[in-house]
Amino acid sequence: MSNKSHSRGHLKAVRRIQITMMLGFAFLVMAAVLAVMVLAVNKTDAVLKNKVVSMTSSLSVQMKLNLSGYMNRMETIATLAFGEKESYTYDATDPNNDEYEAINTEKVISDKLFSLCIMENFVDYGIVYRNNRTVGKLSNGTMSLFGEKMFEELSKMVKDPRSQDGWFTGYEGDFRRIYYVKQVHENAVLVISFYANELSEVFDNPETLSGMQIQLVDGNYKTLYSKNGKEAGTPLSEDIRSRIEGHDSATAMDNEYLVSVNKCNDWYVVCYIPTQKILAEKNEMKRYIYMAGVIAMVLAAMLGMYLSWLLTKPVKYMVSELDNKASTDRLTGILNKLTFEELAGTTLQNSLNSEHRAMVILDIDDFKRVNDTLGHAAGDKLLAGTGGVLRQVFSDDDYLGRIGGDEFCVLVNSGAQSEEEFVEHIKNRCQALNKAFHDNSTAAEYGYQVTASIGAALYPKDGKSFEELYTACDKAMYRAKKSGKDGFTFYDEKSGDA
């Protein structure tokens, strides 16, 4: 009886030990899973915030570049009007004008203006004289809005005394139209106007930041454009203004807002989004992880590790998407200027003198001719095709970037090759690039054979930093242009490139 009691006592002790071990193991698993979850959540918080700030800053810069490009195109179209001599020599206020000659001259000017704006969504594109006589396309709404003060009021919009032009919106409280005015001579101004909603294509934010608000404001922080047309003419929210006032280019994030601003001419591109909206998806994932962690604590530490991996996988995917949007040139599909310079500069900075690298610059010859004769759509097609040509010729290990309007750059990263083999490799790539560019830009496609000039420079012989190598490569490219274009040259200090 005592043995049985003793035996039962041992069994109870064993059970107590088993329970203690199970509870101890459960506690260790719970502590390990909890530590992993806290570490993973904190890490994703920091990574996500840094990447979103970087993405927003790049987006703001891209919006500024888009706006600057759009405004430059309007200014170019205005300048093209002066291709007709009568556009800047004729003065409708001259009392000595012969009536018949004046009619014919105005018809010549009008035909020129209409030919330039036929493919544009302009409200107005014409010349207004001091006596309020007009030539070209002037809408009834504009003439009614300005009345007899048309020339006087439009002249006030010329803000830049050097270039004799200016941008303006909000006349008489009407922010639906944006005006570009250029002084022709003392008695005439050229005016282009378009509806502000045309900027919707300029300020097209990516789906990954679909909640981002983008506004164009003037120097007094009055809204000139937003996708919500009702905000036009109203002051920028004080919450946003207080975070950017006094800055021409800045990005800031706090518990309430992520805000970025960039100045373009006398206007500001402002991008902002509530912080909670950015972190909403992350907070949903966090709740899911905590719920899954409870199950992981019961099942095993391995399950907890797996669920922690589930946390990082979608975040990495989201970060990858944000990084891709921020680093890629939308038209060509290759790296944009900022990303290319950063990657190439870092690579060169960390390279050894024994490594073989080269920089290649391609510049399309007489690209302006394509835009002027065939239109911007043909120019965009040529640029997009050039991105495809670069991907075709160079390997996945090389960095490809669009660094200017019609200028492309490649950093060639070599394998285990001798210097002679590498130089021969670069020559072959340049020859292949010339041929591929020819095949992509034929006379049948563009009416004449579009060509490109290519320059190449070698690391470390021609330069060790990005700036040194780019300068050498750029000089080689310009020597190719001076030598008749449609070819390539290597940088050579003895040839006068230096």
The answer to whether the beta carbons of residues 208 and 257 sit under 8 Å apart is no
Per-residue pLDDT, 206: 66
Q: Please tell me the distance from the alpha carbon of residue 207 to that of residue 374, in angstroms, as a whole number.
A: 32
- In DSSP terms, which residues pair with 82 in a beta bridge? none
Q: How does strand 452-459 pair with strand 487-490?
A: parallel
**Consecutive H or E run containing 188:** strand 188-195
- In DSSP terms, which residues pair with 250 in a beta bridge? 261
Residue 64, amino acid? K
CATH 3.30.70.270 fits domain 337-495: yes
Q: Please tell me the distance from the alpha carbon of residue 453 to that of residue 437, in angstroms, as a whole number.
A: 10
Per-residue pLDDT, 363: 95
Sorted by sequence, the CB contacts under 8 Å of residue 77 that are 6+ apart come out as 116, 117, 120, 125, 192
Query: For the purposes of burial, counting CB atoms within 10 Å of the CB of 38, is it exposed (0-12), middle (13-18) or buried (19 or more)?
Result: exposed
Sorted by sequence, the CB contacts under 8 Å of residue 207 that are 6+ apart come out as none
Q: DSSP states of 406-442 as a string?
A: SEEEEEEE--S--HHHHHHHHHHHHHHHHHHHHHHS-
Strand ranges across the sheet with 487-490: 399-402, 407-413, 357-364, 452-459, 487-490
Half-sphere exposure (Cβ direction) of 345: Cα atoms closer than 13 Å: 8
Does a cis peptide bond (omega within 30 degrees of 0) precede residue 206?
Answer: no
Whole-model pTM: value is 0.49
Long-range CB pairs of 256-259, under 8 A, 24+ apart, other chains included: 258/52, 258/53, 258/56
Per-residue pLDDT, 11: 45
Q: Please tell me the distance from the alpha carbon of residue 472 to that of residue 479, in angstroms, as a whole number.
A: 11
Which regions of the chain are under pLDDT 70? Answer: 1-18, 21-22, 26, 40-48, 205-210, 280-286, 288, 300-326, 415-416, 495-498
Sorted by sequence, the CB contacts under 8 Å of residue 292 that are 6+ apart come out as 307, 310
Per-residue pLDDT, 4: 37
Q: Please tell me the distance from the alpha carbon of residue 270 to that of residue 217, in angstroms, as a whole number.
A: 7
Q: Please tell me the distance from the alpha carbon of residue 175 to that of residue 170, in angstroms, as a whole number.
A: 4
Query: For the purposes of burial, counting CB atoms within 10 Å of the CB of 438, is it exposed (0-12), middle (13-18) or buried (19 or more)?
Result: middle
Residue 442, token pair as written in the block: 């034929």
Per-residue pLDDT, 10: 43
**Consecutive H or E run containing 241:** helix 238-244
* CA terminus-to-terminus distance, the chain: 107
